[in-house]
């Protein structure tokens, strides 16, 4: 805020002058920065000769000869060109100042290929060539100046000067040339320049500074570097903010010329990079008299002659006809990625102006939507009809909003950490200043209008995938991806923002839909049906205005095909945008739309509304069962003109929809039963679940065939059903059960459990060499992730919450919540175990389920241990009884069947898809499951003993029924063997303090004798085969011989041992 000026005395310290305020101080700083940037920019600009001086020079050249001319002589053809468009042959920028001579030599010395021994035998072979740098690396190494960031800094300075009246140019500097005028003149000259003007420098300078002639690879690298510089230069000038730049030219014409220059440079660089290096053919001549055998190089038609003009030689090779399309696409992608790293991202205001001038609004106004430009059209109309330019706009918008592009803004340093939209240390004022949210608010509506427009043209959608390059997105998919990234910016974490996330998403969606309706009037009526409450919520609980408005907007995207009644009372069938895209086989657009719905639905605080949206997403695949005509949002009519085969892109939208639906329903929250929280006399279980932030499924959201089963679950207070359970039953119904589960798993009802989205996933063809499609395994992995999330919640409550709670209601409710979480996970495992071996070829899902079984036994063991230690009677609850019943009757037998199925799959022979390392890992998992199960049974036995001590003998007997006596080994441990082992351990403990180290031979002999005695006693006391421990994997529930051999004294011993282990655990 203070400016310092030196005193008259040079030795005196500077004294402060009058405070000018922040605005005036900022103006002074901007003047200084602008002067510095203008001086730096003038270093690279070629002086433009005045027309009068040019004419005088040419007259002098005609009279006195070209020696008196100060510039290069112009030919007659150049004079004609100058009269036509006023351009010159000299490039406006000296790009050679941005390139250095440093290059990567390709003619490195190689090791000798072979050596001869004294006997004449050859030893060794061809030496391997060291892999040198690629042509693109060589070109990248030649670029030594970040010229594009200098241009972006100049544009940002001009914008700041024009943003406030006090930031103008000071009177002292008015005599000098303004940065604004310099930048505007440079932009005009670059727009009128041509690519050969920049490449002409290499024609004049055919030798390096050291006098050597550059090789063809070096010349190609120099030309490639120049093309990269020209393309990045044109792109930076197009994307710089021009609010303060004075220009009398048509912005459409300037943009068209700059884009043409960029396209020429990109195509030239693509052909250079895609052209293969000419191979040198060797030709052997016959022996001559007195001479030796010589090898002559055959000169190729493309020429490796270093005396040829490098530009001409490259042009002769760059025909593009002999190069495969895939190679060209790959090279073009590499060039585009390199240009993206060389220049900053577009200013969002420039992108907004582009969308207004050359987007769907301009296309609707001018009615010029053809792919090829017509003579007589304006530059604005030609750019609007240019598909490449429309793609370029959307790609630059995506690069801006997804954070991959660097943004040059005042107040930021030009380093990698600062050239971004938001950093961790930024406060909200800095974020708002950088327009983090404003950019998404501006670009998102334009991108959605582009999406709605491109969907109506088949050649701009994913249906035209055969004509697209690899990893190239069609215009409809690209525009919708921009919309998704904009929404992610809007709902990002801004703690001190004036509006919460839900309010921001509601305002953003309202602008998006309004922009779409204004650009394409035909979609106004379908959108208004949903936004005005055409599908009212089924819940009786009132919703806030923002929640209800956002829900209605999302239903216009995610609503399934339903029979509705319009304002006139007529009944018709109406579907949302997702169902319409699926019906027209637009898979990639549908997948991106699911991401949009899931992203927006995640900010809704009401769990029931989120779950309803997830159900609607899954039901959108029901369109295939509807034969009657129905209306969509955009009115698309793209019939399935191709059949699904191996060459078609995989259908990713169903698996993404399953994942989004599980996230919206908070994974297993809806499947988690809880005890009723008594707050009011008329409180229902739905109220208790809402108080616990757990969703409740509504039967009205599902088809009529599913409603009866859902209502049965809702009638039971201790029962819950969610999306995860419905998906698992549908997958079991579609895939089928394994033969090992015929007696354990009952197949669900086809009428009440079938889901078209699951049928779509299961019907996807498997790749060659596999039996099951990867999408089936992806769906199963999403369900497994939900199971892991529920167990993680239970572990967190046991480890972090229960130790800090005293006795009371809060402690009891937390224990009930943990038991409910474990019950939800165990019921999911019981439902998925029957088809687990059939969802993938590597038994990965089976191993994941077994790991979850291990976690369930371990987590519940900790809960039982805590409950037994403080209050054993707490085990006598309805939730614990349900959980014990689920574990003993369903999960444990099916877990043992899973072990058997995995063992059979490992021994499948030729059909085995697992490596030895994976087999060993799965074997460890099986052993851990068995160990945790036996440990859990021992703690249940301890709990039963303590219940007997407190007088609850009946409850103890009920718990003992749930204990599964494990006989998964083919040996028995006798009671005499147990006593003998206990005596030996007692003797060892007593002698432990008296033992001394013996280094001599006598000590070793004593140890050997003692070891032999112990081995003999062990073999006498126990009868077992240790090699068969891991062979058996099935529990026989009928055999109770082990239980009969345990008497009451052994039970008390096990109680003492469990108490010791309890103390160790604490």
- Whether residue 893 contacts residue 853, with contact meaning beta carbons closer than 8 Å, is answered with no
Read off the pLDDT band of 310 (50, 70, 90): very low
Q: Which residue has the tokens 């544009």?
A: 155
Read off the pLDDT band of 578 (50, 70, 90): very high
Read off the pLDDT band of 252 (50, 70, 90): confident
Read off the pLDDT band of 803 (50, 70, 90): confident
Please check the confidence at residue 413 and state whether its pLDDT lies above 70: no
Q: Which residue has the tokens 């086809």?
A: 750
The phi-psi region of residue 569 (left if phi > 0; otherwise alpha if psi is between -120 and 50; otherwise beta) is left
Read off the pLDDT band of 326 (50, 70, 90): confident
734 Cβ contact partners less than 8 Å away, ≥ 6 residues apart: 754, 758, 759, 762
pLDDT at position 62: 66
Between CA 128 and CA 107 the distance in angstroms is: 14
Q: Two tokens at 961?
A: 């029924």
Cβ atoms < 10 Å from Cβ of 197: 19
Q: Which of 242, 640, 633 is nearest to 448 (CA)?
A: 633
Between CA 407 and CA 394 the distance in angstroms is: 17
Between CA 904 and CA 898 the distance in angstroms is: 10
Q: Mean per-residue pLDDT for 938-950?
A: 89
Q: Mean per-residue pLDDT for 807-835?
A: 91
Read off the pLDDT band of 669 (50, 70, 90): very high
Strand partners, 115: 123
What is the separation of C-alpha 355 from the centre of its chain, rounded to a whole number of angstroms?
27
pLDDT at position 240: 80
Please check the confidence at residue 302 and state whether its pLDDT lies above 50: no
> How much is the mean pLDDT over the chain?
76
Q: Mean per-residue pLDDT for 1047-1058?
A: 43
pLDDT at position 303: 37
pLDDT at position 178: 81
pLDDT at position 218: 82
Q: Which residue has the tokens 């219940």?
A: 947
Read off the pLDDT band of 95 (50, 70, 90): confident
Q: Mean per-residue pLDDT for 240-245?
A: 59
Please check the confidence at residue 102 and state whether its pLDDT lies above 90: no
In DSSP notation, 726-776 reads: HHHHHHHHHH---GGGTTT-PPPPHHHH--HHHHHHHTSPPPTT-SS-HHH
- Whether residue 385 contacts residue 372, with contact meaning beta carbons closer than 8 Å, is answered with yes
What H or E segment, with its residue span, contains residue 81? Answer: helix 76-85
Q: Where are the alpha helices (DSSP H) in 346-405?
A: 348-358, 360-366, 379-385, 387-401
pTM: 0.80
Q: Mean per-residue pLDDT for 65-92?
A: 48
- Lowest-confidence range among 165-169, 219-223, 690-694? 165-169
Q: Two tokens at 775?
A: 């999408």
Between CA 868 and CA 947 the distance in angstroms is: 9
Q: Which of 594, 724, 597, 703 is nearest to 651 (CA)?
A: 594
**What percent of the chain has a predicted confidence (pLDDT) above 90?**
35
Q: Which residue has the tokens 């009969």?
A: 1044
The phi-psi region of residue 376 (left if phi > 0; otherwise alpha if psi is between -120 and 50; otherwise beta) is left
- Lowest-confidence range among 387-401, 419-433, 877-891? 419-433
pLDDT at position 596: 96
pLDDT at position 1010: 62
Between CA 997 and CA 88 the distance in angstroms is: 98
Read off the pLDDT band of 1047 (50, 70, 90): very low
Read off the pLDDT band of 285 (50, 70, 90): very low
pLDDT at position 908: 56
Between CA 514 and CA 531 the distance in angstroms is: 11
pLDDT tens per residue, range 433-479 = 457 788 999 999 999 999 999 998 988 999 988 888 878 899 999 99
Read off the pLDDT band of 6 (50, 70, 90): very low
pLDDT tens per residue, range 349-391 = 899 999 999 998 777 665 544 444 455 688 888 999 999 999 9
Using a CB cutoff of 8 Å and minimum separation of 24, what contacts does 716-720 make?
Answer: 717/676, 717/685, 718/673, 718/675, 718/878, 718/879, 718/882, 719/673, 720/670, 720/671, 720/672, 720/673, 720/674, 720/696, 720/824
Distance separating the N- and C-terminal Cα atoms of the chain? 62
């Amino acid at each position: 805020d203070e400016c310092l000026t030196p005193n008259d005395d040079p030795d005196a310290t500077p004294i402060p002058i009058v405070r000018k305020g922040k605005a005036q101080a900022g103006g002074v700083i901007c003047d200084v920065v602008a002067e510095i940037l203008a001086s730096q920019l003038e270093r690279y600009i070629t002086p433009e000769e005045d027309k009068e001086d040019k004419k005088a020079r040419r007259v002098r050249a005609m009279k006195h000869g070209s020696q008196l001319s100060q510039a290069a002589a112009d030919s007659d053809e150049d004079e004609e060109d100058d009269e036509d468009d006023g351009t010159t042959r000299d490039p406006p920028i000296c790009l050679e100042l941005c390139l250095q001579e440093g290059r990567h030599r390709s003619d490195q010395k190689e090791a000798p290929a072979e050596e001869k021994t004294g006997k004449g035998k050859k030893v060794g072979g061809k030496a391997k060539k060291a892999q040198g740098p690629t042509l693109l690396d060589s070109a990248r190494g030649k670029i030594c100046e970040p010229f594009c960031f200098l241009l972006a800094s100049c544009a940002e300075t001009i914008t700041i000067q024009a943003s406030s009246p006090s930031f103008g140019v000071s009177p002292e500097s008015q005599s000098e040339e303004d940065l604004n005028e310099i930048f505007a003149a440079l932009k005009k000259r670059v727009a009128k320049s041509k690519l050969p003007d920049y490449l002409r420098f290499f024609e004049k300078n055919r030798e390096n500074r050291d006098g050597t002639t550059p090789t063809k690879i070096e010349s190609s690298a120099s030309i490639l570097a120049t093309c990269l510089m020209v393309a990045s230069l044109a792109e930076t000038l197009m994307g710089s903010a021009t609010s303060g730049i004075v220009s009398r030219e048509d912005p459409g014409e300037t943009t068209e010329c700059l884009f043409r220059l960029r396209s020429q440079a990109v195509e030239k660089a693509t052909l250079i990079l895609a052209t293969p290096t000419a191979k040198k053919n060797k030709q052997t001549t016959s022996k001559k008299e007195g001479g030796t055998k010589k090898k002559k190089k055959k000169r190729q038609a493309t020429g490796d002659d270093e005396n040829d003009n490098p530009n001409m030689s490259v042009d002769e090779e760059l025909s593009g006809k002999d190069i495969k399309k895939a190679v060209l696409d790959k090279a073009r992608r590499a060039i585009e990625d390199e240009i993206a790293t060389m220049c900053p991202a577009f200013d969002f205001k420039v992108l907004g102006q582009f969308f207004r001038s050359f987007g769907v609004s301009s296309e609707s106004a001018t009615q010029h939507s053809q792919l090829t430009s017509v003579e007589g059209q304006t530059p604005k109309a030609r750019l609007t009809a240019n598909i490449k330019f429309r793609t370029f706009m959307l790609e630059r918008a995506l690069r801006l909003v997804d954070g991959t592009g660097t943004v040059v803004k005042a107040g930021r340093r030009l380093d990698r950490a600062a050239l971004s939209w938001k950093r961790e240390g930024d406060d909200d004022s800095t974020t708002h200043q950088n327009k983090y949210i404003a950019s998404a608010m501006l670009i998102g509506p334009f991108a959605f209008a582009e999406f709605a427009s491109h969907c109506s043209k088949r050649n701009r959608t994913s249906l035209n995938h055969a004509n697209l390059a690899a990893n190239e997105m069609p215009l409809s998919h690209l525009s919708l991806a921009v919309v998704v990234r904009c929404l992610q910016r809007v709902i990002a974490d801004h703690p001190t923002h004036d509006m919460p996330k839900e309010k921001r998403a509601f305002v953003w969606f309202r602008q998006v839909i309004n922009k779409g309706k204004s650009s394409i009037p035909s979609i106004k009526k379908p959108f208004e049906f949903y936004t005005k409450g055409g599908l009212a919520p089924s819940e009786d609980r009132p919703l806030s205005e923002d929640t209800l408005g956002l829900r209605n907007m999302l239903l216009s995207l995610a609503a399934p095909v339903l029979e509705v009644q319009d304002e006139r009372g007529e009944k018709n069938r109406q579907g949302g945008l997702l169902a319409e895209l699926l019906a027209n086989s637009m898979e990639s657009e549908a997948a991106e739309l699911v991401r949009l719905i899931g992203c927006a639905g995640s900010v809704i605080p009401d769990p029931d509304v989120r779950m309803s949206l997830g159900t609607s997403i899954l039901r959108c695949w029901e369109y295939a069962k509807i034969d009657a005509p129905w209306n969509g949002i955009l009115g698309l009519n793209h019939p399935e003109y191709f059949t699904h085969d191996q060459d078609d892109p995989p259908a990713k939208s169903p698996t993404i929809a399953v994942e989004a639906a599980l996230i919206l329903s908070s994974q297993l929250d809806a499947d988690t039963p809880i005890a009723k929280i008594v707050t009011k006399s008329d409180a229902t279980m739905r109220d208790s679940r809402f108080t616990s932030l757990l969703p409740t499924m509504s039967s009205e959201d599902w088809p009529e065939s599913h409603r009866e089963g859902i209502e049965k679950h809702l009638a039971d207070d201790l029962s819950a059903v969610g999306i995860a359970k419905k998906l698992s039953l549908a997958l079991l119904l579609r895939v089928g059960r394994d033969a090992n589960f015929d007696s354990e798993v009952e197949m669900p009802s086809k009428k009440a459990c079938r889901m078209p989205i699951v049928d779509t996933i299961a019907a996807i063809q498997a790749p060659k060499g596999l039996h099951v499609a990867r999408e089936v395994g992806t769906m199963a992995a999403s369900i497994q992730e939900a199971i892991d999330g529920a167990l993680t919640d239970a572990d967190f409550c046991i480890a972090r919450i229960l130790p800090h709670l005293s006795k009371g209601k809060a402690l009891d409710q937390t224990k009930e919540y943990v038991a409910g979480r474990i019950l939800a996970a165990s019921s999911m495992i019981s439902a998925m175990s029957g088809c687990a071996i059939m969802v993938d070829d590597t038994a990965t899902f089976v191993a994941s389920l077994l790991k979850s079984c291990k976690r369930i036994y371990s987590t519940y063991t900790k809960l039982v241990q805590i409950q037994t230690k403080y209050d054993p009677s707490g085990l006598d609850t309805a939730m614990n009884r349900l959980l014990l019943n689920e574990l003993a009757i369903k999960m444990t037998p099916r877990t043992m069947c899973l072990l058997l199925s995995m063992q059979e799959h490992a021994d499948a022979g030729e059909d085995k898809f697992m490596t030895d390392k994976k087999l060993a890992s799965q074997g460890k998992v099986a052993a851990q499951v068995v160990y945790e199960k036996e440990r859990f049974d021992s703690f249940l036995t301890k709990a039963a003993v303590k219940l007997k001590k407190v007088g609850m003998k009946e409850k103890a007997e009920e718990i003992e029924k749930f204990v599964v006596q494990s006989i998964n080994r083919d040996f028995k441990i006798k009671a005499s063997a147990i006593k003998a082992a206990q005596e030996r351990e007692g003797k060892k403990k007593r002698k432990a303090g008296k033992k001394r180290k013996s280094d001599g031979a006598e000590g070793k002999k004593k140890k050997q004798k003692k070891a032999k005695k112990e081995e003999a006693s062990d073999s006498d006391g126990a009868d077992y085969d240790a090699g068969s421990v891991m062979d058996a994997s099935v529990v026989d529930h009928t055999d109770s011989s082990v239980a009969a051999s345990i008497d009451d004294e052994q039970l008390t011993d096990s109680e003492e041992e469990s108490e010791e282990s309890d103390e160790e655990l604490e």
